[in-house]
Amino acid sequence: MPYDLVFDVEGTLVKVQVKAAWFDGDRGNYVVDNRRTKTNRRVMVRGLYTNSDFDFALAYVQDLDLFYVFPVEVFISYASEIHLVETDKRQRKPRSAEYRDAWDLILHRAVQKETFVRTPVKFGEACGEVIPSQALMVDQPSEKV
């Protein structure tokens, strides 16, 4: 399973991958690996995620108790790492900045998805006709026992 969590957002299930960021002292920013990693005792195998693996990736920066909320198409568009810059020393903000605490993206995506809810119907209702045995007797007095 390529996702870690599932959120139920207003009746829509949203698949979420969670990644932890680490601090790169040489570069002065936080880094998240955006590849899947499988390990056993001898080998670590890395692979790429696809658009259908999950809906969002959450990158957690523990030192700052901060989340980045990346739509899957953005998350997988990075080469192999995402650098999260938390200093104001740069002239322009990195592309990742717009996903800082962007929880509204999950709600927005969930609302856009169609949710199919099946409501049981009687045969007559499904075909547009009233079947006498299924008709409601509203105006008829009930019998007393």
Q: What is the pLDDT of residues 26-42, one digit of tens each?
A: 988 999 999 988 888 88
- For 114-142, write each residue's pLDDT tens digit: 544 555 555 555 555 555 555 555 455 55
Average pLDDT over residues 83-102: 84
Structural domains of the chain, ranges and CATH numbers in brackets: 5-112 (3.40.1350.10)
What DSSP line would sit under 31-90, residue for residue? Answer: EEE-SEEEE-SS-EEEE---TTT-SEEEEEEGGGTEEEEEEHHHHTTSSSEEEE--SS-S
Average pLDDT over residues 84-101: 83
Range with the poorest average pLDDT among 21-25, 83-87, 97-101: 83-87
Average pLDDT over residues 78-83: 92
Six token digits for residue 24: 């790169």
Name the one residue in this structure whose structure tokens are 């990736």: 57
What pLDDT does 87 receive? 77
The alpha carbon of 56 is separated from its chain's Cα centroid by a whole number of angstroms, namely 4
pTM of the model: 0.72
What pLDDT does 102 receive? 96
